[in-house]
Amino acid sequence: MEITTYTKFKQNLKTFLDKVSNDQSLLYVTRTNGEDVVVLSKADYESLVETFYLLKSPKNVERLLKGIREFEKGVGEENNLIE
């Protein structure tokens, strides 16, 4: 995650936004007279929202944790996605 000031962010807006979008990186913008902000790509934002949604259901959390445990034990099988 890169950190910049609000002034530098304004001066180099296109460059910073391109980097966030192309590198899927976060940008932390510090502000003197306000709360700091984090800039992230739309794809990263949508991924976070989807993750929060999936983790709201205890049943989904249970399934995900079971899958992680099986993966760590080497149990399970690889499946190709249907397109």
Which is nearest to 58 in space by CA: 66, 49, 70?
66
Report yes or no on 83 lying in a domain: no
Co-location of 49 and 25 in the same domain: no
- pLDDT value at position 56? 93
- CB-based contacts of 12, cutoff 8 Å, min separation 6: 4
The average pLDDT across 66-71 equals 90
Is the pLDDT at 67 greater than 80? The verdict is yes
Counting the structural domains of the chain, the total is 2
Residues 9 and 34 grouped into a single domain: yes
Tokens 């794809």, residue located? 43
- Range of weakest confidence among 27-31, 62-66, 77-81: 77-81
The edge-to-edge listing of strands for the beta sheet with 27-30 is: 2-5, 27-30, 37-39
Domain assignment present for residue 15? The answer is yes
Q: Is residue 79 part of a domain?
A: no
pLDDT tens for 14-36 read 999 999 999 989 999 999 999 99
Instruction: Determine, yes or no, domain membership for 52.
Output: yes
19: containing domain:
2-40
